[in-house]
Amino acid sequence: MSSADIAAVAGLVREVAREHILPRFERLAADDIRRKEKGDLVTIADLEAEAALTPRLAAMLPGSLVVGEEEVAKDPSVLDRLAGDGPVWLIDPVDGTSNFAAGIPLFAVMVALVRGGETVAAWIHDPVKNAMATAERGSGAWCDGARLQVAAEEPPDRMSGAMSHHFGNRQLVRKIAGRSNMVGSVFSFRCAGQEYLALAAGRAHFALYHRLLPWDHAPGVLLHREAGGYGRQLDGSPYSPRIHAGGLLLTPDEASWTALHAVLIG
């Protein structure tokens, strides 16, 4: 068990999205958006939402630490909080910030609770649809009371999935891109949270990622696994929020992971 109140955290995330994110959607002024050092965008909604979530999540679990995307952007040493055995909250206040800033309704709020390097609870919220997906280790994945289930296994040439070629080892990325026509279809929402929602609900078969920022993947990997899915790093090792380099492949089960890995990577 996570020792977190799943419903209470979900309510908090919904409240923060309603108060700090949705009112800014399609209403951002030019000075509400800026570029971070690595070229990523940050908006006033990202900053306000993380500032609202951080103290209230910490108060929900006395002794817990918080690692927020925007706090790490200011001080990368904040990531070291994941090295301990105690509870750590991960926050991605607006995943898909580029979409959000452009008025595209494909963004999400993501929160995960990590203990000893393992994700034990996850929340992914779609503020536009007011949909909340949650997962607790060993308790399944749910979206507003409905059980989530990954897609049925298919051969690679009938699989549809999310893939981006913007990050990672350039030689490997070029290799995968050159083989992507060997799968059924490929898309990118430019929002990992939305892609994980599609995976866990069975609307997509796979996702392949090359940048493993923990707030982007810790919530989604648990949601996907609790919905019956199988995920591993590209070298076959298990995913951990403590691992921030390499690649990640998620599929409905181990057999389809092996088959797709062979097609895309060899």
For the segment 77-136, what is each residue's pLDDT rounded down to a tens digit? 999 999 999 999 999 999 999 999 999 999 999 999 999 999 999 999 999 999 999 999
CATH of residue 114's domain is 3.30.540.10
Residues 137 and 251 in one domain: no
Instruction: Collect all residues with Cβ–Cβ distance below 8 Å to 248 and sequence separation of at least 6.
Output: 207, 208, 209, 212, 217, 221, 231, 232, 233, 234, 239
Residues 189 and 65 in one domain: no
Following DSSP, what letter does each residue of 88-142 receive, concatenated? EEEEEEEETHHHHHTT-S--EEEEEEEETTEEEEEEEEETTTTEEEEEETTS-EE
pLDDT at residue 178, as a whole number: 86
Q: Is residue 254 part of a domain?
A: yes
Q: Is residue 1 part of a domain?
A: no
Q: Is residue 22 part of a domain?
A: yes
pTM of the complete model: 0.96
Following DSSP, what letter does each residue of 137-197 receive, concatenated? TTS-EEETTEEP-PPPP--GGG-EEEE--SSS-HHHHHHHHHHGGGSSEEE--S-HHHHHH
Say which DSSP state 20 is in. I
For the segment 162-213, what is each residue's pLDDT rounded down to a tens digit? 997 776 677 888 888 888 899 999 999 999 999 999 999 999 999 999 889 9
Residues 102 and 164 in one domain: no
CB count, 10 Å around CB of 32?
14
Q: Which structural domain range is residue 187 located in? A: 156-264
Residues 10 and 127 in one domain: yes
Residues 143 and 164 in one domain: no
Q: Is residue 237 part of a domain?
A: yes
pLDDT at residue 1, as a whole number: 41
More confident residue, 225 or 4: 225
pLDDT at residue 2, as a whole number: 57
Domain count, the chain: 2
Overall average pLDDT of the 20-46 stretch: 92
CATH of residue 230's domain is 3.40.190.80
For the segment 209-244, what is each residue's pLDDT rounded down to a tens digit? 988 999 999 999 999 999 999 999 999 999 999 998
Contact 159/260 with Cβ under 8 angstroms? yes
More confident residue, 148 or 179: 148
Contact 84/90 with Cβ under 8 angstroms? no
Beta 131-136 vs 141-143: how paired, if at all? antiparallel
Residues 215 and 255 in one domain: yes
Question: What tokens were used for 56?
Answer: 């209230």
Residues 75 and 172 in one domain: no
Last residue of a domain, one of 113, 128, 147: 147
Residue 25 has pLDDT above 50, yes or no: yes
pLDDT at residue 157, as a whole number: 96
